[in-house]
Structure 1
Amino acid sequence: MLKAILSCALAAGIAIAAAALPSVAAADELETVKAAGEFKFANSGAYPPFSFVDDTNQVVGFDVDIGNEIAKRLGVKGVAVSTAWDGIIAGLLAGKYDSIIGSMTITAEREKAVDFVGPYYRSGRGIFVATDSAVKSLDDLKDKTIGVTLGETHEKWARERGGWEIRTYKGLPELFLELKSGRVDAIVVDSIPVMVAMKDNGEKVRKLETSDIDGGAVNIGIAIRKGNPDLKAAMQKALDEMMADGTYEAISMKWIGADIR
């Protein structure tokens, strides 16, 4: 019940922030970014290979490289900021960073609060269980325990579908640990990072064959505050040029092993 209340509170917070938005930014922020000499972009830091903490305690990944490259093309320094996913939009609206480059699904609800640059890649929903799990289908998960990341669109989907207990976590590393320990029976997440973890880290999980979930490919975008057409246009131009000159593909191959645009 508490998790449901928190999820509803997050949605309500976005709606309230969106209603108050006209007073947030009086001038386009492109010049502010250039004057500051840096472009701050947020991610969860807990979503490998898109954003995660490496052995040197630095936040790295696909999203970080994309953010730094956009900053470079804006003529400033990129600064990655890691924050909890369930408060990431609130942090943007509060001015704690200039953008969210954190693998955020573009949804109608989020578009009420922020503008999106992109999409910069596409992804889809997957339901994963331990390799040796007896679960073979969605029906087998009835009354079981499902793990999701708090604030993601997958949490909303899991709650709307119902029929199972839901536990929320900060990110993919926690979800893997909970699945391995048996504290959850399945996790509902974007497929790409899990498939990469299976290939690179030997994660012993299995994707359920599901044709009846709302898990078709979704657009992933870069969020900025509303009322900033110049910043939006400059970021879109940088992204388009990256995709045209091979830079995007190189970043994607480095972290994902495939071109995911």
Structure 2
Amino acid sequence: MTRLKKIVTAACFIVLSAAAHADDLDKVKQTGRLTFALTGKYPPFSFIDAAGQLQGFDVDIGSQIAKKIGVQAVPVTTAWDGIVGGLLAGKYHAIIGSMAITDERLRAVDFTQPYYRSGAQLFVPKGSGVEGIDQLNGKVLGVTLGETYEAWLRKNRPEVQIKTYKGLPDILIDLQNRRIDGFVTDKIAGILTIRDKQINAKPVGALLYPEKIGIAVRKDSPRLREAIDAALGEIVRDGAYGDMSRKWLGTDVR
């Protein structure tokens, strides 16, 4: 190979390598599209409605983020078990699919600030006057048998009496019949269930322990992560986040 050919080949390699590792924000700006993955099978966060349209809280979050960045939102439905692999393979720019931030995932991808939080939540009947778990010493709380909430209560709140059930529907029956004084379950799941089934209950107090949900991007795209974080801040400040959260989840989950 001649010296000139070697120089040209080396230059091409550098250009291609730079392109391969370019921050995804550049690609988003160049194409005018922010592609983001979700399953489409996790209502009310993402689902296909009766008209065949993709809907949900995560879909709206992605759309608002893209709008703030100044590009078109392009949601991509994919199977959950391959969603991180698809991000790493460059099939989309981000995952906006209710993904919890964990140490294991942080080894593979980067996350934005949490865009909502969930975790173990105490629920009590409306009008009970209870504002937190400290007021339930000696009282009976329902939990689903074998879930982490039971173990947490036994370890951290031994003064509370625990009654176990096969599932949340059985817990709600006993709550309505005043056989228990409250129950502990996932915050979002509990809120949606009492809303949809019109149960006379409400969440009270802070999360017993939290779970943070973030937007995943590739590790070589810090500027895209920063742009998404900035967009999230804007939609919180201008009220759009609260509107979307109340629309889909019945409360402001942030």
TM-score class, shorter: 0.5 to 0.7
Q: Conserved in 1, the CA contact under 8 Å of 2:195 and 2:250?
A: no
Structure 1 residue 203: deviation in Å? 9.2
Task: Tell me the equivalent position of 2:238.
Answer: 245
Residues 1:48 and 2:43 are matched in the alignment: yes
Question: Distance in 2 between the 1:39 and 1:221 partners?
Answer: 16
Residues 1:254 and 2:247 are matched in the alignment: yes
Q: Conserved in 1, the CA contact under 8 Å of 2:191 and 2:249?
A: no
Q: Conserved in 2, the CA contact under 8 Å of 1:49 and 1:193?
A: no
Aligned-pair identity (%): 50
Distance 1:227 1:43, change over 3 A: same
Task: Tell me the equivalent position of 2:34.
Answer: 39
1:102-251 aligned within 5 A:
102-125=97-120, 137=143, 141=145, 190-193=186-189, 195-200=191-196, 202=197, 216-251=209-244
TM-score, with normalisation over the residues of structure 2?
A: 0.63
What letter corresponds to residue 229 of structure 2 in structure 1?
Q
Question: Distance in 2 between the 1:39 and 1:100 partners?
Answer: 11
Structure 1 residue 24: deviation in Å? 10
What letter corresponds to residue 43 of structure 1 in structure 2?
L
Q: Conserved in 2, the CA contact under 8 Å of 1:25 and 1:227?
A: no
Question: Distance in 2 between the 1:240 and 1:221 partners?
Answer: 13
**Cα RMSD after superposing both structures:** 3.5
Distance 1:120 1:33, change over 3 A: same
What letter corresponds to residue 111 of structure 2 in structure 1?
F
TM-score, with normalisation over the residues of structure 1?
A: 0.62
Distance 1:36 1:23, change over 3 A: closer
Q: Report the secondary structure of 1:216's partner residue.
A: strand
Question: Distance in 1 between the 2:40 and 2:28 partners?
Answer: 23
Structure 1 residue 43: deviation in Å? 1.0
Structure 1 residue 250: deviation in Å? 1.1
Q: Conserved in 2, the CA contact under 8 Å of 1:249 and 1:259?
A: yes
Q: Report the secondary structure of 2:99's partner residue.
A: strand
Structure 1 residue 223: deviation in Å? 0.3
**Among residues 71, 82, 85, which one is paired with 1:90 in the alignment?**
85
Residues 1:28 and 2:12 are matched in the alignment: no
Distance 1:60 1:193, change over 3 A: farther
Q: Conserved in 1, the CA contact under 8 Å of 2:35 and 2:74?
A: yes
Q: Which has the larger radius of gyration?
A: 2
Question: Distance in 1 between the 2:28 and 2:189 partners?
Answer: 31
Distance 1:75 1:257, change over 3 A: same
Q: Conserved in 1, the CA contact under 8 Å of 2:41 and 2:47?
A: yes
What letter corresponds to residue 192 of structure 2 in structure 1?
V
- In the TM superposition, structure 1's runs of 4+ consecutive aligned residues that sit over 4 Å from their partners are 22-25
Question: Distance in 2 between the 1:259 and 1:137 partners?
Answer: 24
Cα distance per residue 1:179-223 (max 9 Å; x no partner): 99xxxxxxxx854145314423x399x9xxxxxxx9721111000
Q: Report the secondary structure of 1:35's partner residue.
A: helix
Structure 2 segments unaligned to the other structure (5+ residues): 1-16, 122-141, 150-166, 170-184, 202-206
What letter corresponds to residue 82 of structure 1 in structure 2?
T
The alignment covers a number of residue pairs equal to: 186
Distance 1:248 1:192, change over 3 A: same
Q: Conserved in 2, the CA contact under 8 Å of 1:50 and 1:193?
A: no
What letter corresponds to residue 36 of structure 1 in structure 2?
T
Cα distance per residue 1:89-137 (max 9 Å; x no partner): 11111111111111111011100100101211100158xxxxxxxxx65
Q: Report the secondary structure of 1:100's partner residue.
A: strand
Structure 1 segments unaligned to the other structure (5+ residues): 1-21, 127-135, 147-156, 159-177, 181-188, 207-213
